[in-house]
C-alpha cells in the first residue's frame, strides 16, 4: 500500500506547520504529517495524509510565506499531479508517472459492469495510448511552467528544459522520488542529511 495524500513544498523561516491554514486542524494533525529533511534556504517539504489539504490552501500558503510554493497530490505512491503557484497568481501543473496518470484519467465505458474485463482488451490499450500521447504532448509546456515558477522562487541554478521534460516522462515505482528529483533538477539545493553521531 503506497502513500496517498499531499507533498507540500514551500519556504519559510518558521516551520510550515505554523502556517495559519494548519491552525484549525488541532494537535492530532502531528500524527498525519511527516516533515522531510529540509533543504537549504528555508525550503521545507511536508507529507500530509489524505484529507488535510484542500486546493485553496496553496494560495493561502503562498500569501503566508510570500514566496512561490507547490504541492503534489499523490495517489498510492504511483501517480501525482504537481501544482505550483507564484506570488502573482501564475499557476503550472504537471503529472508525474505519465503511464499511471493516463490509466487514472481514462473514462470507463458506461455499459461496463466489470472494469477489469475492459482493462484486458485491445480497446483499453488503445484508449490508454491516446491519453498517454495527450499527456506527453503537454510535457514541454509543463516543464516550461515549472522552470518559470522555480525562477520566480529565486532559484539561480541553470536547470535545463530537456532534463525537466525527461523527468516528467520518467517512470518510478515511488512517485515521491520523482517529486524529490524534480525539485533537485529545478535547482532547489538538495536536503542536507545530518551525519550519524559516532
Give the mean pLDDT of 42-62.
92
Q: What is the DSSP annotation of 176-198?
A: HHHHHHHHHHHTPPPP-PPPPP-
Strand order in the sheet with 91-96: 33-35, 43-49, 5-11, 69-75, 79-85, 91-96
Classify 78 as helix, strand or coil.
coil
Q: Who has greater pLDDT, 160 or 108? A: 160
Over residues 128-156, the pLDDT tens digits come to 999 999 999 999 999 999 999 999 999 87
Confirm if 172 and 97 have CB atoms less than 8 A apart.
yes
Model confidence at 195, pLDDT cuts 50, 70, 90, reads very low
Average pLDDT over residues 103-113: 78
The three three-digit cell numbers of residue 122, written as one number: 485491445
User: Which residues fall within 8 angstroms of residue 157, CB to CB, at 6 or more apart?
Assistant: 186, 187
Predicted confidence band of residue 1 (pLDDT cuts 50, 70, 90): low
Model confidence at 109, pLDDT cuts 50, 70, 90, reads confident
Beta bridge partners of 45: 9
- Write the pLDDT tens digit of every residue in 70-105: 999 999 999 999 999 999 999 999 999 999 999 889
Whether 32 shows a pLDDT value over 50: the answer reads yes
Q: Which is nearest to 71 in space by CA: 132, 16, 115, 148?
A: 16
Average pLDDT, the chain: 88
Percent of residues, the chain, with pLDDT higher than 70: 88
Q: Tell me, what's the pLDDT at 198?
A: 47
pLDDT band (50, 70, 90) for residue 26 = low
Listed residue (162, 138, 92, 90) closest to 82, CA to CA: 92
Amino acid at each position: 500500500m503506497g502513500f496517498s495524500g499531499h507533498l507540500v513544498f514551500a519556504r519559510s523561516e518558521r516551520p510550515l506547520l505554523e502556517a495559519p491554514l494548519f491552525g484549525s486542524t488541532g494537535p492530532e494533525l502531528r500524527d498525519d504529517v511527516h516533515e522531510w529533511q529540509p533543504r537549504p534556504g528555508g525550503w521545507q517539504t511536508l507529507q500530509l495524509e489524505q484529507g488535510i489539504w484542500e486546493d485553496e490552501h496553496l494560495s493561502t500558503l503562498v500569501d503566508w510565506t510570500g514566496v512561490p510554493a507547490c504541492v503534489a497530490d499523490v495517489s498510492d505512491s504511483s501517480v501525482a499531479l504537481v501544482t505550483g503557484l507564484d506570488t502573482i497568481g501564475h499557476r503550472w501543473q504537471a503529472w508525474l508517472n505519465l503511464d499511471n496518470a493516463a490509466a487514472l484519467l481514462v473514462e470507463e465505458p458506461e455499459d461496463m459492469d466489470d472494469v477489469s474485463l475492459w482493462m484486458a482488451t485491445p480497446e483499453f490499450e488503445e484508449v490508454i495510448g491516446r491519453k498517454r500521447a495527450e499527456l506527453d504532448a503537454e510535457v514541454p509546456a509543463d516543464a516550461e511552467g515549472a522552470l518559470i515558477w522555480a525562477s520566480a522562487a529565486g532559484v539561480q541554478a541553470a536547470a535545463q528544459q530537456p532534463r525537466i521534460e525527461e523527468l516528467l516522462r520518467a517512470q518510478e515505482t515511488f512517485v515521491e522520488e520523482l517529486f524529490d528529483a524534480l525539485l533537485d533538477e529545478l535547482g532547489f539545493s538538495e536536503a542536507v542529511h545530518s551525519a550519524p553521531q559516532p
